[in-house]
């Protein structure tokens, strides 16, 4: 008899984490890999945030804290939601977790069980379906084609809702497509949701501050305040403040949901790192001007990468409006032959070919629920992106 519970057989390792492991292994073996798989800014955590962490350590703030976050950080989160999103939460309506990932995990584990459906627009961040499966629920994918900007359409949402729907998961700027919703697009989705009061909304706003072309960010509870009583707004410091390793994320939502999430967290990780929390207070309340400076750098990289992709034989790319990923279509390359005579039958085949042929690591669209595409992160330095683009062009030219 197997030691393993059924629930672990329902899920796969995170493809992006596994790609990271594979790339590090190949580099350790001496392969000259250009890895455009990273889901994290290549910038350093700003010095004022590092100093806040040092001060916290020197002051002995190295002990357990309240499970759902220190009062200072929960206050800072409340302030952030009010300042940037016009959302008002009480202290018992916010929770801090070990990354936004834990906040999403806790929310779904507390609310989803066998017989529950969770609507996930595709392409999607890799962890949503697996967390739903782990919780025993059923992910219901709604295809959001490139022709519709990779965005959920109200009529498709309406069609996907059943009496068993527990949640709709929204994520914009989107990982991997970079799509963001205009206010009126969120309004139209909100109108559907208002007709279905049993459906809750988990909005993952992790890339809120990585947004281009002067576009404005909107989150659904702000656009339709009547939805706030059934919305969990998830965010974190990983992407905006280059703090991926500090593992601090947070959520705002109705107090009964937050209380259950804190209870779940009390039996798993307890509080997120005390020093990380002190650093996050400084991130949320300290100077914010570097965010726009870094965004401008990401935007220049996006423009470079998209131009390169469009010039690459067999590839095409839309213009991402946020996050730091390109998600080009490789439809034209499907069916072509490699110099070794193998057929590229899928985006996964293309990704393996790029790794074998030119030592370029990217991620297959299949992992994000959309094919034939692949995800290429431009949260890497310009020299790396230039070299990546050169290798990509070379590999594409070699396909027959
Ligand atoms: N949500 C999305 C869409 C992401 O891309 C990520 C990380 O890649 C996360 C959530 C998790 O972020 P963290 O756990 O670092 O806060």
Structure-token match 């999607």, residue found: 124
Pocket flag, ligand 1, residue 314 (CB < 6 Å): no
Distance 204 CA to ligand 1 centre (A): 8
Interval 219-245 mean pLDDT: 97
Domain ranges of the chain: 6-44+290-398, 61-285
Distance 101 CA to ligand 1 centre (A): 6
**Contacts with 37 (C-beta within 8 Å, 6 or more apart), sequence order:** 16, 19, 20, 23, 361, 362, 363, 375, 377
114: phi then psi, degrees, rounded to nearest 5: -55, 135
pLDDT given at position 218: 98
pLDDT per position as a tens digit, 121-157: 999 999 999 999 999 999 999 999 999 999 999 999 9
User: Residues 349, 271: contact at Cβ < 8 Å?
Assistant: no
Pocket flag, ligand 1, residue 205 (CB < 6 Å): no
User: Mapping DSSP to helix (H, G, I), strand (E, B) and coil, where does residue 367 land?
Assistant: helix
Angle at 323 between CA 21 and CA 145, to 5 degrees: 95
Shortest-distance atom of ligand 1 to CA 248: 16
pLDDT given at position 17: 75
Shortest-distance atom of ligand 1 to CA 236: 16
Strand order in the sheet with 363-364: 325-326, 374-377, 363-364
Distance CA 170, CA 166 (A): 13
Pocket flag, ligand 1, residue 308 (CB < 6 Å): no
pLDDT given at position 24: 84
DSSP per-residue codes, 242-310: T-GGG--EEEE--HHHHHHHHHHHHTTT-SPPHHHHHHHHHHHHS--HHHHHHHHHHHHHHHHHHHHHH
User: For the structural domain made of 6-44+290-398, what CATH number should be given?
Assistant: 3.90.1150.10
pLDDT per position as a tens digit, 87-132: 999 999 999 999 999 999 999 999 999 999 999 999 999 999 999 9
Confidence of residue 8 (pLDDT cuts 50, 70, 90): very high
Determine the residue of 123, 206, 279 to mutate for testing ligand 1's pocket, defined as the one with the most ligand atoms within 8 A of the Cβ atom. Answer: 206
pLDDT given at position 400: 92
pLDDT given at position 396: 97
Interval 217-221 mean pLDDT: 98
Query: To the nearest whole number, what is the mean pLDDT of the chain?
Result: 96
Distance CA 3, CA 272 (A): 30
Determine the residue of 102, 108, 125 to mutate for testing ligand 1's pocket, defined as the one with the most ligand atoms within 8 A of the Cβ atom. Answer: 125
pLDDT given at position 105: 98
The residues with which 211 forms a beta bridge, in sequence order, are 322
Distance CA 358, CA 253 (A): 47
Q: What percent of the chain has pLDDT over 70?
A: 100
Confidence of residue 173 (pLDDT cuts 50, 70, 90): very high
Angle at 240 between CA 82 and CA 274, to 5 degrees: 80
Distance 209 CA to ligand 1 centre (A): 13
Confidence of residue 46 (pLDDT cuts 50, 70, 90): very high
Shortest-distance atom of ligand 1 to CA 323: 5
Distance CA 312, CA 265 (A): 47
Rounded to 10 deg, the angle between the 99-111 and 255-266 helix axes is 110
User: Mapping DSSP to helix (H, G, I), strand (E, B) and coil, where does residue 209 land?
Assistant: coil
Q: What percent of the chain has pLDDT over 90?
A: 94
Distance 206 CA to ligand 1 centre (A): 6
Overall residue count recorded for the chain in this entry? 400
Confidence of residue 12 (pLDDT cuts 50, 70, 90): confident
pLDDT exceeds 80 at position 18:
no
Distance 100 CA to ligand 1 centre (A): 6
Cis peptide before 93 (omega within 30 of 0): no
CATH of 61-285, one of 3.50.50.60, 3.40.50.1980, 3.40.640.10, 1.10.10.60: 3.40.640.10
pLDDT given at position 176: 98
Predicted complex ipTM: 0.99
Confidence of residue 13 (pLDDT cuts 50, 70, 90): confident
Burial class of residue 397 in the structure, from the number of CB atoms within 10 Å of its CB (0-12 exposed, 13-18 middle, 19+ buried): exposed
Distance CA 299, CA 93 (A): 34
Interval 309-336 mean pLDDT: 97
Confidence of residue 321 (pLDDT cuts 50, 70, 90): very high
* Alpha helices (H) along the chain: 6-9, 15-28, 47-58, 71-85, 99-111, 127-134, 154-160, 183-194, 220-223, 255-266, 274-285, 289-311, 347-358, 382-398
Interval 311-315 mean pLDDT: 95
Residue (of 39, 27, 24, 42) closest to 381 by Cα position: 42
DSSP per-residue codes, 294-352: HHHHHHHHHHHHHHHHHHSTT-B-----BTTEE--B-GGGTT-B-TTS-B--SHHHHHH
């Amino acid at each position: 008899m197997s030691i393993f519970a059924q629930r672990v057989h329902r899920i796969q390792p995170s493809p992006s984490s596994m790609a990271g492991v594979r790339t590090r292994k190949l580099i350790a073996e001496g392969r000259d890999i250009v890895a455009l798989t990273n889901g994290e800014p290549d910038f350093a955590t700003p010095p004022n945030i590092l100093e806040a962490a040092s001060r916290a350590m020197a002051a002995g703030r190295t002990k357990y804290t309240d499970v759902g976050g220190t009062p200072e950080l929960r206050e800072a989160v409340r302030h952030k939601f009010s300042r940037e999103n016009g959302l008002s939460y009480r202290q018992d309506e916010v929770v801090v977790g070990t990354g936004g990932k834990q906040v999403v995990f806790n929310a779904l584990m507390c609310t989803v069980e066998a017989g529950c459906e969770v609507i996930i627009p595709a392409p999607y961040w890799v962890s949503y379906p697996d967390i739903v499966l782990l919780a025993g629920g059923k992910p219901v994918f709604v295809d959001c084609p490139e022709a519709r900007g990779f965005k959920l359409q109200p009529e498709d949402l309406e069609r996907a809702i059943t009496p068993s729907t527990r949640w709709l998961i929204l994520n914009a700027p989107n990982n991997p497509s970079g799509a963001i919703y205009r206010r009126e697009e969120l309004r139209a989705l909100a109108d559907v949701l208002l007709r279905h009061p049993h459906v809750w909304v988990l909005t993952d706003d992790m890339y809120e501050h990585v947004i281009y072309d002067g576009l404005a960010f909107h989150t659904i509870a702000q656009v339709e305040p009547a939805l706030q009583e059934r919305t969990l707004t998830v965010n974190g410091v990983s992407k905006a403040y280059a703090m991926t390793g500090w593992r601090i994320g947070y959520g705002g939502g109705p107090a009964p949901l937050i209380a259950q999430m804190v209870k779940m967290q009390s039996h798993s990780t307890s509080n997120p790192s005390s020093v990380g929390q002190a650093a996050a207070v400084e991130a949320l309340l300290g100077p914010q001007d570097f965010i726009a400076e870094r965004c401008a750098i990401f935007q220049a990289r996006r423009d470079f990468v998209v131009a390169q992709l469009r010039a690459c034989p067999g590839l095409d790319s839309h213009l991402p409006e946020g996050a730091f990923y390109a998600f080009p279509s490789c439809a034209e390359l499907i069916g072509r032959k490699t110099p070794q005579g193998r057929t590229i039958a899928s985006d996964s085949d293309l990704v393996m070919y790029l790794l074998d042929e030119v030592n370029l690591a990217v991620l297959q669209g299949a992992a994000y629920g959309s094919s034939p595409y692949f995800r290429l992160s431009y949260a890497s330095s310009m020299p790396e992106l230039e070299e990546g683009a050169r290798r990509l062009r070379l590999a594409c030219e070699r396909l027959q």
